[in-house]
Structure 1
Amino acid sequence: MKNLAIIFLVSVAVGLAGGYTYFHFTNNDETAAAKQETAAVQKKPTALTQTTSTSSKEGEILKQKGCLSCHSVSKLNLQGGTTGPDLSNAYKVVEGKHGKPIEEFLKEPTSAVMSGVIKSNPLTDEERAAIIQVLKTASEK
């Protein structure tokens, strides 16, 4: 019984060390980006990060919900923060990148930063539909 306990503890230690090493070395870029996004989300957005260069109403929902404090949508001439990725192609790439359709991602994001953002500022069904429509429009340009 003592030998089984020792084998179990050694196996757990090796498994944890291996998992830590794997994720530490394979997710460095993603982790650094997540830390930068977290820092930006925690800061109050400035007027500079929320400016838009379009007078169109198509990006209004992104401004209202604070998306433009971290993201831009260059295909719609919506200038925002640079911490998050440009959302011009998000409609097409979210599922491949995050493993779920954009509607599901906006309900329950798989990235740590976006999970915190959505949890603290959940989207209604109408807001989610409006954001998806804007992102679809951007992806078609």
Structure 2
Amino acid sequence: MQKAMISFVISALLGFGVGYLVFGVLMGDSGNKSQVAQTDTPLEKTTKEESKDSTEPATSSAVAEDNILNKRGCLGCHSVEALNLKGGAVGPDLSQAYVNVEGKHGKPIEEFLKQPTSAVMSGVIGKNPLTDEERKQVLDLLKQASEAK
């Protein structure tokens, strides 16, 4: 009995050690990184704005930290690379969601945001539905992202 207990303890320590090595050291310690939207630094914004033609509309409002996707926690799982909104990697990139949702989920994005057909999003939005104004803001941002690429 004592031999089995010693074997168990050694195996457990080895298992935790290998897990730490693989997930903590080799894959980077992603547990310490926040999943908040990362936006351009003021220097990058200035450089980009100076290089734009004056007739182009500025997109700084879309990448502001107070955008709807950040406020509602969408960036905890999703990114929107087209707008340089970095977030979680669990959910898909939303850069083309405005045009792709209907083909993937069988209903237009406006309806999907009201009543999602995916199990994960049904749970997320079902527990905390978007208001009409929030839904409009999300649609505007996702439309802008789909046009950016």
Q: TM-score range by the shorter chain?
A: 0.5 to 0.7
Q: Structure 1's 54 and 125: CA in aligned 2 closer, same or farther, altered over 3 A?
A: farther
1:135 aligns with 2:142: yes
Give SS of 1:83's match: coil
Q: Structure 1's 46 and 108: CA in aligned 2 closer, same or farther, altered over 3 A?
A: farther
Give SS of 1:58's match: coil
Q: Structure 1's 94 and 50: CA in aligned 2 closer, same or farther, altered over 3 A?
A: same
Q: Structure 1's 92 and 50: CA in aligned 2 closer, same or farther, altered over 3 A?
A: same
CA RMSD for the aligned pairs? Answer: 1.8
TM-score, normalization: structure 2? 0.61
Rg (Cα) greater in structure? 2
Report runs of 4+ in structure 1 exceeding 6 Å deviation.
none
Counterpart Cα distance in 1 of 2:142 and 2:91: 15
Q: Which residue of 2 aligns with 1:71?
A: 78
Give the alignment partner of residue 50 of structure 1, picking from 33, 36, 40. 36
Gaps of 5+ in 1: 1-44
Give SS of 1:92's match: helix
Q: Which residue of 2 aligns with 1:125?
A: 132
TM-score, normalization: structure 1? 0.64
Counterpart Cα distance in 2 of 1:62 and 1:84: 13
**Matched AA of 2:34:** L
More helix by share: 1
Deviations 1:24-53 (A, max 9, x none): xxxxxxxxxxxxxxxxxxxxx986112322
Aligned sequence identity (%): 61
Counterpart Cα distance in 2 of 1:91 and 1:114: 16
**Matched AA of 1:50:** V
